[in-house]
Structure formats: structure tokens, C-alpha cells
Chain A
Amino acid sequence: MADITQLEAFVTQVRRDIVRQVHKVNSGHPGGSLGCAEFLVALYQQVLKRKEGFNMDGDQEDIFFLSNGHISPVFYSVLARSGYFPVEELNTFRLLNSRLQGHPTTHEGLPGIRIASGSLGQGISAAIGAAAAKKLNNDRHLVYALCGDGELQEGQNWEAIMYGAGNKVDNLIVAVDLNGQQIDGSTDTVLPLGNVKGKFEAFGWEVVTIEKGNDIQAILEGMESAKSKTGQGKPICVLLQTVMGNGVDFMMHTHAWHGKAPNDEQLASALAQNPETLGDY
């Protein structure tokens, strides 16, 4: 088991990276990024069985797809600090000629990215394809994906969810970031998702709920449980209950920081709440 304290320190640094990236270019999506910091740190530092370096095919290793590409600040921070590219490159987030585009892409050759995302609702399909390729290649490693909850309003997800169950894609774990927020307000006011757990179960998926989706220990236990359910004829859904903007008090419990950058004063406050742990870029 990982040292929880170390992982928490890692998360604190990732939070700094998120707000600093977004502040510098006065654009980007800090809210969802902060909400998924613990999950992505746990995933890349503990859960995924990864190889050194980056190979697009991901042969004989676990691979991950980010469907809600707008949380690129957290993805870039975790990838850089997991060794995929130099941490200093976070300085180029959203700048002209950067590999760190507003939304993640393979187009500029950034190591760690296997497909472009940003236009929502496409990640589960890609993950199912990669999972099918792993089965054909007799590669027993797993495919993981993360999508947002608002993103489930896109119909393609439900095509993919139906396919995954109907075809027993049981080497796949899809996490849904249940933060209850989207651009125009709460998911309940914009377009209610209803009973997400019941919907996945009705489609034939195994569902694991992580109620404390911003708690490293809870995430690790939940993902261990999810892994234990793979290979049994069903795809796995992890319902990750998070708080948007977690770790920066004024960004929490609101959709206001979905796609808004902090000003200088707000940045100072966010950084003061998250002291440097691994060294700023």
C-alpha cells in the first residue's frame, strides 16, 4: 500500500500546478480539475500498472483515457509529475505552439495522451476499442477511463454503455466524476441525470461507489474493489463522488469555477491553502 501522506502531498502540488497553469493564461478549467486531483494521482501513482516511458499501443500495461478533456490541467500535471514529459512544460499550457493544448490531443505528440478529447461523450467508446484490442492481443492488463457526470447527457455514452455490457467488456473500468455540476448550473437543474447507479446497473454494468471521492484512502480501496470485479463478464463503473474545486475553499461547492481562471489575489489564496511539496515548475 502506498504511503497515503506522500500521495496527499503529491495532490497538494498538483493543485498548485492546476491553479498556476490556469491563472497564467487566464483560461482553462480549474473546478473539475481540482475535483479529480486525488483520483488521478491515485490512478497514476498507485492503481495503474504502467511501463516506463510512453508507447501509444500500451502493450502489456494498463492504459487510461480521459473523456472529459477539459480537465486537462490536472491531467497534464499528473502526467508530467509521473514522468511522461518535463514538469517545466506545464509553463506552456494553452500557449501558441505548445504540446499542452487547451484540451488533450495526440496531434502535438504529447507523451501520455492516446486520443484527443474535449468534444464530450467519446471516451468510453475509445476505451472499449482499446479493451477489445487488449483481448485480441491476449494482454490481460486493464483499460481505465474517466468521464464527467454532465457528460453522460451525450447519447454516445449510452451506445457505448450498452455495447460494453452486451459484449462482456470486463477488462474495463470507467469512473464517472459525480460532482453534480456543469457549466450552466447543477446537473439537477440543467438536465437531471436521475439514478446514475441504477442506470448503469440496468444496462448490465457492475457499479462500485466511492462516496469520498476526494479521499486517497477511499479511492484506493474503491479501485481495489473495482479491479477485483474485472474478468467476470461485466464492465465496471466507479461512481466517484467528488467536490468540484476541492482543496481551494472559494472554488468548492459551486459550478462557478468550471471554466474560469483565478485573478492574482485568488491565486495567492489558492496557493497559500496548498503549500509547495514537490517543487513548483
Chain B
Amino acid sequence: MKTYIDTGKKDTRSGFGAGLTQLGKTNENVVALCADLTGSLKMDAFKENHPERFFQMGIAEANMMGMAAGLTIGGKIPFTGTFANFSTGRVYDQIRQSIAYSGKNVKICASHAGVTLGEDGATHQILEDLGLMKMLPGMTVINTCDYNQTKAATIAIADFDGPVYLRFGRPKVANFTPENGSFTIGKAVELQEGTDVTIIATGHLVWEALEACKTLQERGISAAVINIHTIKPLDAAAILKSVAITGCVVTAEEHNYLGGLGESVSRILAENHPVAQEFVATQDTFGESGTPDQLMEKYGLNAAAIVKAATKVVARK
């Protein structure tokens, strides 16, 4: 079993900010738009370094999406920044028509996704955004797991031509992927090899999956762990390769089980290699106020929940 070391807890949104700061220096076509959340999105440095390429939109997300679409006409690469809720549900039709259907090269960067937004509660904790975004034809959907990967993804999507939804979060979480590592859109990362069960995780649940893997090994269950940072297009080959060995799956995500990563994995399995699957996800519910750890515990989104699901699915084989 490989060992992964947390080099110090950091928030994924800061990884986005660091990536954007670097892009500001290396790609003059990159522009940034923010709907009154510059500090929360860690876009301050870009704003300070490139005031002419930073657009303060005010609390007006619909106009932000439309303006981002317009900025691509003239060769700009717009990165929009606001919370995941206001990046998707609030502006779905603007994204659908002006960005996705129009094929515009806009990067929709969404922070504070899921219940780990914490105390602000359910009004701000979107658990449906991955589903909304993956249903849009032509939309690439990415959900990164730590600071380093979020920084790498932010830099990588600037070189990709097409609309992208990049999802990250608020809390400080383990930072364990390589510093300045490469990021290949659509290419899953196998973190652990295993023979009894495949844990397919995305976002904040990836570290939890690694923790679960250790506990499972102590209990005699060999778990493979796959980091799915790109939910669309989904790396079917990586999933099927592992499932061919293990014969069962746990998916883990900070999202509703309806419409999330788990359902995308189910489709791949149903079409190619039907096996038992358990879903670590929210169960068609809204979130609530609380600390991130309390909420992950209450909604069954942590290592303990993954261990339970893995044990159950192995028994179902």
C-alpha cells in the first residue's frame, strides 16, 4: 500500500487562487470575473496584478456568465468566480444557452461546494451542481481533491478549448497530491491498488477514501482507490480495469447520489461490467448549518462511511 502524506491542511479554493495568479503571469488572454466574492475565491492577487483583466461584477451572476461568454469573442479566456450554488443553479439557463450551446471557452470556477461550506447552511450548500453541469452537452466537469490538484487543474483548463466547470471548496483539508504535479483532464489517478473493492472518489472524499483504505486493510479488505477528478468525460477505462480485479465498487462524493459521480459510474458498469455498487453521497437531502466535520459525519461523507459501504459491498459480491 502506498503512503500519502498530508503536507499541511490547505483549502482547495486557495489552490484555485494560486493557479489563477500563475496564469495571470503566463497567459495574457486569461481574464477573471468575480461576483462580489473576491476574497472568498482567493482572486485578490490576480486582481492586484492585473486590474485591467479583472472584472468586478457585483452581485449579478447572470450578467457575469453572459459577459464571460462575450469576452471569448475577441480571444479572451474568462474564469468566473463565485460559490458553486451561484455558479450553477442560479444561472443555469445563462450557462446553457450563452456558454454551453454557444460553445464558448468559459471556465466556471465554483468554490464552497457541498456541505463543507459549513455554517451558512443549505441556502449556500449546493449538492446538485455536478448533476446540473454534467448534463450540459459539451461541458467538462472537474472536482479536485486538494490544494495542489486544484492549482494544477486551474492551470490545465486554460489550455483546454471549451467550457469547463471546476468545482472546489472552502475548508482546509489534507494536501497530499504532488506539488506542481501534472493534470490531465479526463484521466483518473489510481492512488491505491487493491483486489477486493474499488473505491472511486472525487473532491474532498478522496483523502477520506485513502484513510478508509488503511482501516479496511487492517480488517483484511484490500481496497483500490481511484481519484476521479474529472467527472465528465469519465475515465471508463481506469474504472473498468480496477473493477475487473475487485468485482465491486464504492463511489464517494460530496453531492447528492442522484445526478452525481456515482450514477455516472453506474452507467459505465451497467454498459460494460455490472457489479455491486454502494453510494457514499447525500441521500436526496438539503444540508444544514454546522462545522464541516460535523456535517461530513452527519451526512455520511467521511472515511467511516466509506469503510461501512466497502464492507457492505464486499459482502454483496
Which positions in A face B, CB cutoff 8 Å? 56-59, 63, 65, 105-107, 114-119, 121-134, 136-137, 139, 155-156, 159-160, 162-163, 166-167
Q: How far is the CA of A129 from the CA of B102 in the complex (A)?
A: 14
Q: Which residues of A contact B78 (CB under 8 A)?
A: 129
Q: How far is the CA of A107 from the CA of B102 in the complex (A)?
A: 6
Q: Which residues of B contact A162 (CB under 8 A)?
A: 58, 60
Q: Which residues of B contact A114 (CB under 8 A)?
A: 73
Interface residues of B in 35-79 (CB under 8 A from A): 52-53, 55, 57-58, 60, 62-63, 65-76, 78
Q: How far is the CA of A178 from the CA of B67 in the complex (A)?
A: 24
Q: How far is the CA of A155 from the CA of B60 in the complex (A)?
A: 10
Q: In whole Å, how far is B122's beta carbon from the nearest beta carbon of chain A?
A: 24
Asked if A137 meets B60 with Cβ closer than 8 Å, knowing A115-B102, A116-B101, the reply is: no
Asked if B70 contacts A130 (CB within 8 A), the reply is yes
Closest residue to B70 on the A side, CB-wise? A129
Asked if B62 contacts A159 (CB within 8 A), the reply is yes
Interface residues of B in 103-120 (CB under 8 A from A): 103-104
Cβ contact of A137, chosen from B74, B93, B102, cutoff 8 A? B74
Q: Which residues of B contact A163 (CB under 8 A)?
A: 57-58, 60, 63, 67
B223 interface residue (CB < 8 Å to A): no
B264 interface residue (CB < 8 Å to A): no
Q: Which residues of B contact A129 (CB under 8 A)?
A: 66-73, 78
Asked if B73 contacts A130 (CB within 8 A), the reply is yes
Q: How far is the CA of A125 from the CA of B78 in the complex (A)?
A: 14
Asked if B55 contacts A115 (CB within 8 A), the reply is no
Number of A-B contacts (CB under 8 A): 118
Asked if B76 contacts A133 (CB within 8 A), the reply is yes
Asked if A119 meets B97 with Cβ closer than 8 Å, knowing A58-B73, A128-B67, the reply is: yes
Asked if A59 contacts B67 (CB within 8 A), the reply is no
Chain B: number of interface residues, binned into ranges? 20 to 34
Q: Which residues of A contact B104 (CB under 8 A)?
A: 115
Q: Which residues of B contact A127 (CB under 8 A)?
A: 70
Cβ contact of B60, chosen from A63, A130, A159, cutoff 8 A? A159
Asked if A125 contacts B103 (CB within 8 A), the reply is no
Q: Which residues of B contact A130 (CB under 8 A)?
A: 70-71, 73-74
Q: In whole Å, how far is A123's beta carbon from the nearest beta carbon of chain B?
A: 8
Q: Which residues of A contact B145 (CB under 8 A)?
A: none
Q: In whole Å, how far is A257's beta carbon from the nearest beta carbon of chain B?
A: 25
Q: Which residues of A contact B94 (CB under 8 A)?
A: 122, 125, 156
Q: Which residues of A contact B60 (CB under 8 A)?
A: 159-160, 162-163
Which positions in B face A, CB cutoff 8 Å? 31, 52-53, 55, 57-58, 60, 62-63, 65-76, 78, 93-94, 96-98, 101-104
14 A-B residue contacts at CB 8 Å? A57-B74, A65-B70, A105-B102, A106-B103, A115-B102, A115-B104, A125-B94, A128-B67, A129-B68, A156-B63, A159-B58, A160-B67, A162-B60, A167-B55
Asked if A136 contacts B58 (CB within 8 A), the reply is no
Asked if A126 contacts B52 (CB within 8 A), the reply is no
Asked if B62 contacts A156 (CB within 8 A), the reply is yes
| Most chain A CB within a 10 A radius of its CB, from B63, B98, B104 | B63
Known: A105-B101, A125-B94, A156-B94. 15 other contacts (CB 8 A): A58-B74, A106-B101, A116-B102, A123-B66, A125-B98, A128-B63, A129-B71, A129-B72, A132-B70, A136-B52, A137-B74, A159-B62, A160-B63, A163-B57, A163-B67
Q: How far is the CA of A136 from the CA of B28 in the complex (A)?
A: 10
Asked if A133 contacts B71 (CB within 8 A), the reply is yes
Closest residue to B31 on the A side, CB-wise? A136
Q: In whole Å, how far is A17's beta carbon from the nearest beta carbon of chain B?
A: 25
Q: How far is the CA of A107 from the CA of B55 in the complex (A)?
A: 27
Q: How far is the CA of A155 from the CA of B69 in the complex (A)?
A: 18
Q: Which residues of A contact B96 (CB under 8 A)?
A: 119
